[in-house]
Chains A and B, each alone.
Chain A
């Protein structure tokens, strides 16, 4: 009986949890809080960027090669969406088509502008042969300001490849997040 006990105890020993097993309630709560603080800080930075830039998605990753040679798949773009900046022909805008979730990064080709500032504009990817009317909603021929997520103000090449990998292999994403979370929860500062 005691041999069985020692054998099972050794099999179940999870040494990396030793620190956690010695903690009292307050210390355990502090570990969870630490994890929460890290997540909250990341969240606050993201929301802060949203407020400062005025765009609901201040950082986006280029997913297709339709803007080569300017932007390649995997580039990271920084966007702003200030009301004071008018959209002009030749600018690169990131927009969302109604009913579709994924934003598109293309260049503005034509603009119709009313006196009160309302605009309708047409876009086309630099590397595409035709304009984007084929991508717009059925019956829609122009985009409006409300479809715009932001204007590209700066970019960092290649870094976004990680995001593309995470989206293509969601199991990889969950595994990384799970391991990171576990590490923060178990490690004492």
Chain B
């Protein structure tokens, strides 16, 4: 009996439908961003470029390290002697935080996707996907940069959040997938006509 319990409990729940509180703006944005990522990475097979995210994580980690250094130094050399070291750590901590804030202004970028050139000759095309939730509207914007010509193009689509969630707050994946695909195809056709 115990064994069955242990086997049944699965940590990852990728297949469970997403259910959120539809009045919580942040939860709406997060769930729609995740769903868009799923569509783009699984359906279209793009790869994700982690540079932006990794940069953010690194800076946060360094700030925390500064704090830990301050804590340990103060523990080893009790207060008055540790003053200069503490001062350095305390002053540099917000600088890290401010750099974070600047990077965070591009927080609306939730995915940087990379489209590898099938021939393997030209540099990759990158797309920056941004999203914004304002009142009950979700705006999805994509900024496509051609790897070779460094030209960039932008497309966006705005839809009411109510189009993707039912009354209980469960995400209707099909509707959202259609919306993301539409945006993606508009971008692709624009590419072809240019």
Report which A residues bind B (CB closer than 8 A): 1, 4-5, 8-9, 12, 18-19, 21-22, 26, 29-30, 33, 36-37, 39-41, 43-44, 47-48, 50-51, 56, 188-189
- Alpha-carbon separation in the docked complex, A182 to B34 (Å): 22
Inter-chain contact A8/B4, CB cutoff 8 Å: yes
Interface string of B180-193 (1 = CB under 8 A from A): 00000000000000
Inter-chain contact A44/B70, CB cutoff 8 Å: yes
In the complex with contacts A44-B90, A51-B90, A188-B53 CB distance below 8 A: no
Q: Which of B66, B86, B97 contacts A51 (CB 8 A)?
A: B86
Q: Which of A4, A22, A51 contacts B34 (CB 8 A)?
A: A22
Inter-chain contact B4/A5, CB cutoff 8 Å: yes
Inter-chain contact A37/B60, CB cutoff 8 Å: yes
**Size class of B's contact patch?**
35 or more
Residues of B within 8 A of A9 (CB): 8-9
Identify the closest chain A residue to B74 (Cβ).
A47
Residues of A within 8 A of B16 (CB): 18
Q: Is the CB of B1 closer than 8 A to any CB of chain A?
A: yes
Q: Is the interface of A mostly helix, strand, loop or mixed?
A: helix
Inter-chain contact A50/B4, CB cutoff 8 Å: no
Inter-chain contact B12/A44, CB cutoff 8 Å: no
Identify the closest chain B residue to A33 (Cβ).
B60
Residues of B within 8 A of A39 (CB): 67
Inter-chain contact A33/B89, CB cutoff 8 Å: no
Identify the closest chain B residue to A13 (Cβ).
B9
Q: Most chain-A CB neighbours within 10 Å: which of B1, B53, B67, B97? A: B67
Residues of B within 8 A of A51 (CB): 83, 86-87, 90
- Alpha-carbon separation in the docked complex, A61 to B36 (Å): 51
B25 CB to nearest chain A CB (Å): 11
B38 CB to nearest chain A CB (Å): 10
Q: Is the CB of B98 closer than 8 A to any CB of chain A?
A: no
